[in-house]
Amino acid sequence: MIKKNNLKIKINYLKKIKIFKKYNEAYFNKSKPIVDDSSYDDLKKEILELEKKYPFLINKESPSTKVGFKPSKNFKKVKHLVPMLSLNNAFDREDLVNFEKKIINFLSLKKNYLLEYSAEPKIDGISASLIYKNGNFVKGLSRGDGVEGEDITLNLNTIADIPRVLKGKNIPSEIDIRGEVFIQNSDFKKLSEKFANPRNAASGSLRQKNPEKTKKIPLKFIAYTFGFSKDLNISDQLQFLELLKNWGFKVNKFNRIIKGIDNLIKNHVELEAKRKEIDFDIDGVVYKVNDFILQKRLGFVGNAPRWAIAHKFSANKSISEILKIEIQVGRTGALTPVAKIKPVNIGGVLVSNATLHNEDEIERKDIRVGDIVTVERAGDVIPRVIAVDLKKRNKNSKKFNFPKKCPSCGSTTFKEYNKITKKIDAVRRCINDGYGCEKIAIEKIKHFVSKEAFNIDGLGKKIIESFWELKLIRYPQDIFNLDFEKISGLDGWGKLSVANLKYSVDDKKNISLSKFIYSLGIRHIGQENAKLLSKTLKNANKFFDLGKNNNFEEIFNIDGIGETQINSIKDFFSNKKNLIVLNELKKILKIKDEKEISKNDILGEKTFMFTGKLVGISRAEAKSLVENNSGKIISNVSKKLDFLVTGEKPTARKINEAKNLDIKIISQSEFLKMLNIKGS
């Protein structure tokens, strides 16, 4: 029984190791992280805790034995004189207390002994090792896997912050200086179209084969430690940082010498609040025991020093400044305030916009232009402003006045009264709900061509906006009457791209009734309600006839369609421009009748959910396959779910939830086999 349990534990452990290896390869070798820092740290913590509990698990790919990822084949491999190790992480006060307690116990010091730490901001960049002999820079290496690095000397030579010759006194005969290569946020603005964030930009630029290309990128370098040295006679980290400055290196101006856990936390909080003022990304503070003698006594455990730890910032929050508040008009006429903020890195993503939700939210939090605010980004959720630092508010700041007129068409805006909740809606809307408001019209057309609706390849949001500016599109029917000859003369459009667009448009003239209803963007009518309507009405003519003589009786008793939805449909059919659009589309499109559902169909009303990237098939097409074969799509993992279909990089949370509920988990190929379709 024990052996069987050990096997299960080992299988679970090895799965985590495999995922961790993928994360490392993406982060260190490809410069394209596939998860945020907090997810990476969580997995690392899970692996280390398993190893602590079950010592038989230790693996050569473990974070306890390995750092980074094997060096790229593009560069010569060179062994580090002293391995470039990683740091253990602290996330809260308890972690710091345990860190210090272990040091006190290891050194047999008194419990009340006040250790002195060098607290240094942790720069989110690329680690590099610089070897100097007799004061001359002779070789530069990347971290690599910690044992071997890549020889990137020529690329490092292009960075102005790296001295070719050390100046001043007390220069060792040989020393390996270590630090971080990074790009300032102000410089990154010019590169943001090519890279996801400053760290990716730094990594990609530093590992160019051609140093002339690296030279064009404004890379910076800050030094903070050494790996190997000869004839270096100093007693602590503070002295070493002073020496670095004297030799010609730049060091971090926010470095501090601190005693006591309370003071470390205070500095951490203050520095996190200052992140917006710093022109490069930092993701925490590194604490090093200042005394070199104590460092030597403490030594290392696994691949991390006992005398240092990284106190990480919260991965999903940051501090920024509101530069401007813009009002966006959505497809249903909703006026949404958006804060344009000073760009800030949150969880590996450069954020420059944050939602303010609605007028009530702005008033409740008293949000103003110029305010210093906390911005939160959790997972894939749109970044939002969660708090204002009133202490830093400018005395001359003015209260933000939400517009009472639509910023697009100038129509009156209003707030609806909800009969169910008996409250006035928090969202203010443009009264011109239709194609009479430019912004609403553009958003309606974007919705019309979206993946879940007509799914027209080549007609993305930017293209729709461009065609609107050129007056090629004003209504949905214009899409099927595009002037392709005029388009072929536009910049960026060749014969092939125009031909592909024409094919996509013509191909989508055939559409199911449910998708057609959804494509119209009727307020309160989402995909599920569109399906309910199409199943009841059965064919397009019955849908078109709804507006004739207020013929809405047939949809009154549909389970799932309530008073709110019915009133919204009535409003849609009462708008003359909507009726013109419907009449024109009726002439152009072939709308398929709703298929009668049979429990004997392939999927037999089974429920499905997808997670991860599907190969060779879009998520929208996969959902359509389910529905066309009498299956159902649901949006949450629950007992109602029959199959969770996994693609590439599935969400771990969904997998775990499915396992806990004994839901069958199948691959994309298994899903396609159910439909007698060969996988791509």
- Say if residues 175 and 229 touch (Cβ distance below 8 Å): yes
**CA 495 – CA 16 distance, rounded (Å):** 49
Q: What is the dihedral of CA 240, 243, 245, 246, to 10 degrees?
A: 180
* Annotation says 632 is catalytic: no
Q: CB of 411 within 8 A of CB of 431?
A: yes
Q: Do residues 28 and 16 make contact, with C-beta atoms less than 8 angstroms apart?
A: no
Q: What is the DSSP letter of 369?
A: T
Per the listing, tokens 């989402």 go with: 526
Q: Assess contact for 522 and 569: CB atoms under 8 A.
A: yes
Q: HEC states along 454-520?
A: CCCCCCCHHHHHHHHHCCCCCCHHHHHHCCHHHHHCCCCCCHHHHHHHHHHHHHCCEEEHHHHHHHC
**Which stretch of DSSP H or E encloses residue 48?**
helix 37-53
Q: What is the DSSP letter of 521?
A: T
> How many other CB atoms are found less than 10 A from the CB of residue 212?
10
Distance CA 190, CA 198 (A): 11
Q: Residues near 339 by Cβ (< 8 Å), separated by ≥ 6? A: 322, 324, 325, 353, 354, 355, 356, 367, 373, 385
Q: How many helices (H) and strands (E) does the chain have?
A: 23, 26
Which entry of 4, 44, 70, 122 is annotated as an active-site residue?
122
Cβ contact 59:231 at 8 Å: no
Going by their DSSP bridges, the two strands 300-301 and 304-305 should be labelled as antiparallel
Residue with tokens 């100046």: 167
Q: What residues are annotated to the active site?
A: 122
